[in-house]
Structures are given as structure tokens and as C-alpha cells.
Amino acid sequence: MSATRSPAQNPNRTLPRWLARFFFQCVEAAQRSIARHSLVGDKPIFDNAQFPWVEAIEAQAPAIARELEAVLATPGRLPAFHEISPDVATITQDHQWQTFVFLGYGMRAERNLARCPATAAALDGIPGLRTAFFSILSPGKKIPLHRGPYNGVLRLHLALKVPREREKCWIEVDGQRYVWQANRAVIFDDAYEHQVHNDTDETRVVLFVDFERPCKAPVSWLNKLLLSFAPLTPELQQAKTNHEKWERDYYATPTPTPTASTATSASPSGAPSGTPPAQSGAAKDTHAETVADERAHG
């Protein structure tokens, strides 16, 4: 599918609206069986010990955090979450919740994965992986109560950047509050109502992952079937199109190979090697105007 065409123009690659409605009705009906046959129970927040692979992910957190710092060197170029996934506009419409996507229900951001090899390696160790991205929450940002549409996936947050006043930066799931701790993961069911507050003057970043909920057969087979259809829904097709456009624009200017001089000299933006280069002269002025314009719209 061309990245410049909408799902409506590509009927062979998306579900018709009536079939999409039927699909979501099936999802609603399946959730009761999934809750009953879950191998890890049905609760808002889980014990990490139920997921043996989590310890290995936490061990890789420092390496992932180093790659994150390179991404954060150019925050004005990162998209707001609702600019990629339009349905998120029901809970946020500002530029204070940004994202850097790796995977999303059938979509692979190959250039983002290549830029963050330690992150990509860590993601390879998550069974049933469906979605992964850096979730970047600006100072003072609040995400109101909401719930996810489907309990067939569980959500992991691996904390990479936590404010010093971390007790003021939290998520509540079904009334249970969790305060992020650097290099530690939390797993929860986003089908329960949850909200997020960053009541600090610092940025919070987590590696945000959705993965298949472990279930007994044959419910596990039904879950996999429903998840295999999800990328064909109009909402996820639109998100894929939006991300492909952003990614194309983001990488329009190739990143040069670092040299000895650039490795030892700080750029005007303070960006480490491996990030898009700082510009100079008239080009730098143009870049500054672009960033200012982006911030004005955020």
C-alpha cells in the first residue's frame, strides 16, 4: 500500500466498515472467555514473576536508555501520539505525549529499529509481541481515565527516564497506583480503567509494549486469530499510514557517519552521535524556525 493513500483507497488491504464493526463485536464477546482462561489471572497489575522473560528485559534497560537519549536529542521532530494514532485524540490532543514507534500490529519501523539495535534485541525476547514504542510524557502532562479496547493483550512499561520526584509521577490501574522506578518493568491490563500523571517538571519515558496475554487453548488460538485481523481495521491502517509519512519525513536527511571531530565536539543541540546532524549558517536558522513552529503547534 502506498504511504500516501488512505485505507479507503485500498479496499483489498483493510476491512470494510461493516466487517470492522462485526470484528469489534467478536472482540467484545471474546473478552469474557479470555478473562476466564487467562494463565496469569485477571487483575489490573501483575506480578512480574509470572513472566520469566521480564528479568532479561530489565537487564537491558540501561542500553535501551542510552539509545533513547539519542532520540530525545531532537524532541521537536518527534510526533505527538495522536498524530500517529488518531483514536488517541479522545484523551489527548496536545504535543505533551510523544512517541517513537518500533512496532505496531503488523507494522515494523525498520529504520527506527536499526537506529536502536539494543532496543530491537530486547524486543526480540518478548513472546507474542504486538506493539512497541518509546512513550514520552512531558512535565505536567496528565492522561485522563480511559481503558483499552481488548484484554487479549497485556501492557508492559519499562521505565527508562524517571523524574527525581518519582512519587509525583504515576499510573493508576483500577485504582491501584504504581510509581515508576528506573530500569524496572510493570505489567498491567489496560482494559481496566487507568490514568497517568506526571506532576513534575521533568520528562518521563517508558518503553511501551503490548504482548499477547497467555491463555489456555483453544482460547489462545481465538486470541491469536483476532489479533491477526487487527492490522486490517481502518483505525490501525490509518495509524500505519500516518507513521510511514512521519518516518519518511524524519529520515529525509540522512544521518552522517560520525567522525573523530564530531564525536569529540558537542553539537549546538547537544545531540549525541547517531542523531540527525545540527545544521549551520542559513540552514541552522531555517532549522531553528522549524523547531519553533513545531513547538508552537504543540
pLDDT in tens, 152-167: 999 999 999 999 999 9
Burial class (CB in 10 A: 0-12, 13-18, 19+), 139: middle
Task: Read off the amino acid at residue 59.
Answer: A
Task: Give residue 254's pLDDT.
Answer: 60
Q: pLDDT-derived band of residue 106, with 50, 70 and 90 as boundaries?
A: confident
Q: pLDDT-derived band of residue 216, with 50, 70 and 90 as boundaries?
A: very high
Distance CA 116, CA 268 (A): 23
Average pLDDT, integer, range 221-231: 90
Average pLDDT, integer, range 92-100: 96
Task: Give residue 285's pLDDT.
Answer: 43
Q: Which residues contact 254 (CB under 8 A, 6 or more apart)?
A: none
Average pLDDT, integer, range 242-253: 91
CB 207 within 8 A of CB 64: yes
Cα 210 from chain centroid?
9
Burial class (CB in 10 A: 0-12, 13-18, 19+), 94: exposed
Average pLDDT, integer, range 55-64: 98
**Mean pLDDT of all residues in the chain?**
83
Distances in whole angstroms, Cα of residue 281 to Cα of each of 77, 147, 273, 278, 286: 20, 48, 20, 10, 9
Own/partner contacts of 175-181, CB < 8 Å, gap of 24 or more, are: 175/44, 176/44, 176/45, 178/45, 180/204, 180/206
pLDDT tens per residue, range 129-147: 999 999 999 999 999 999 9
Task: Give residue 48's pLDDT.
Answer: 97
Q: For residue 56, is pLDDT > 80?
A: yes
Q: For residue 259, is pLDDT > 50?
A: no
pLDDT > 70: what percent of the chain? Answer: 78
Distance CA 229, CA 14 (A): 9
Task: Read off the amino acid at residue 226.
Answer: L
CB 27 within 8 A of CB 222: no
Give the strand pairing for 142-146 and 129-137: unpaired
Distances in whole angstroms, Cα of residue 260 to Cα of each of 74, 273, 280: 22, 11, 19
Predicted TM-score of the model (pTM): 0.78
Task: Give residue 280's pLDDT.
Answer: 38
Average pLDDT, integer, range 202-230: 95
CB 14 within 8 A of CB 237: yes
Distance CA 72, CA 36 (A): 41
**Strands laid side by side in the 194-198 sheet:** 142-146, 194-198, 169-173, 176-179
Average pLDDT, integer, range 101-108: 91
Backbone angles phi, psi at 177, to 5 degrees: -90, 135
3-class DSSP state of 8 = helix
Q: For residue 3, is pLDDT > 50?
A: no
